[in-house]
Amino acid sequence: MGYIADECARRGLALEAIAPRGHYRPAVRHGDMLYLSGQVSRLGESTIAGPATATDLDRAKLAAHVAALRALSVIDAQLRPGERVRLLRMTGYVMSEPDFGSHSAVMDGASQAFADILGDEAGAHARTAVGVASLPSGGMVELDLVCALERAT
């Protein structure tokens, strides 16, 4: 258990181990970079399903928060002793109705989770939010992350 899991536990949040559901890795390290496979809004075996609607924005933000916790679990599992992570880029996909326009507001649920757990600087990131017709397992949100790994000082 690394510093991310410790911070989550301090906040009463539990990280679950993430296993791929196909022929891929949850993350790939290349030098000091970490590329995460997409993480959907899944809690255990159930999924916060889409589509996002304008009348239920809080549920959509929760879905983004859940996907962020899954991504943090993957990151935590990849860290070596003495390493810390710096989130660089997040692409967020929101399964939504065609007239839905609050994709960025949905992604605020994930961005806030990263800032809360990693800190304002390490959790700050560039971001794109995109509406889509479907996502794996019917999930409402999927996150794709690029991170830098740094030695703790």
pLDDT tens figures, 42-52: 988 899 999 99
Closest CA to 68 of 8, 134, 148: 8
pTM over 0.85: yes
Task: Note the pLDDT of residue 113.
Answer: 97
CA 136/CA 30 separation, integer angstroms:
26
Per-residue model confidence as pLDDT tens digits over 96-137: 999 999 999 999 999 999 999 999 999 999 999 999 999 999
Strands 39-40 and 141-151: antiparallel
Residue 141 has which token pair?
Answer: 């949100």
Closest CA to 66 of 39, 88, 45, 89: 39
Which domains, from first to last, does the chain contain?
A: 3-15+25-151 (3.30.1330.40)
- C-beta of residue 145 within 8 angstroms of C-beta of residue 87: yes
Degrees, nearest 5: CA angle 140-22-61:
15
